[in-house]
Amino acid sequence: MSLTRLGIAKLWGGSPEATWQFARSGVILVLRALAPNAGYGAERVPPAGGGVLAANHFSALDPALIGIHSPRLLYYMAKIELLSVPVIGEMLRWTGAFAVRRGEGDRDSIRVARWLAREGHIVGMFMEGTRQRFGYPGPAHPGAVMIALQERVPIIPCGLDSFGWSFSNRRPCAAVFGHPISLDGLPANGRGYKEGAVIVEEAIHRLWRQAAEAAAEGLPAVLADGTRRSPTIWGWRQLPEGDARSWPADEWAAEPLGPVYAGRS
């Protein structure tokens, strides 16, 4: 029987925000044991309102690495194979992850992402669609830009350096958040999605280079451009989501694609 059916998620009132606030401190400690890490520019994440956080992707640590350094909960779009893993998949969904069937033009996952951005949440997406194997970010897919343009919310770029991390190589890892990017001047069509993807890709590459320099230099207090290392964001310092509804209650957001919680009015 699943943990969700046992009602464990109800301990936090069926709220991804409350669940992540509870889990955040434990994840911070686990990640510290797995790899020295730091976040930079976390104050650039908007304290309220909807958005899409777009990042590059190198290792299994990346979702947690961004998550613990973001002052707000991120609702990750994750591959359905990961969220189908017993226990781990359920726990990820408790903290806001929802599934996408990669390569299938998954309309329901896009609807969930758009709903979340429209309701004032931040959707987390890896721009390349999968982990990169060559040590540098790959080409950006237009999915994150499409959601941002359709819902008229900003994109928060994030550059990661975690390439080569493994249990036998617990190397330093870094995440650098960029200033929100407004794409309001672009049309919400194929041309706009491609142009926006180029803009965001350039920002992520710049931030990735900063993250790589930070990791190589031992995670300094200040980067070359003056960006400061962000203080640890323990659970009680997490920014609240306000009155934003946690999950859509519509039929298209039902399991297995969507969240494990019922929508709130």
Averaged over successive runs of 10 residues, the pLDDT of the chain (265 residues) comes to 64 84 95 97 97 96 96 92 81 87 72 93 92 89 95 98 94 98 95 96 98 98 97 94 80 64 46
Is the alpha carbon torsion for 104, 195, 63, 48 positive or negative? negative
Count of beta carbons in the 10 Å neighbourhood of residue 134: 8
- List domains and CATH numbers for the chain: 12-253 (3.40.1130.10)
What pLDDT does residue 32 have?
Answer: 97
Nearest to 67 by CA among 130, 118, 13, 16: 16
What pLDDT does residue 264 have?
Answer: 41
What pLDDT does residue 94 have?
Answer: 86
What pLDDT does residue 152 have?
Answer: 97
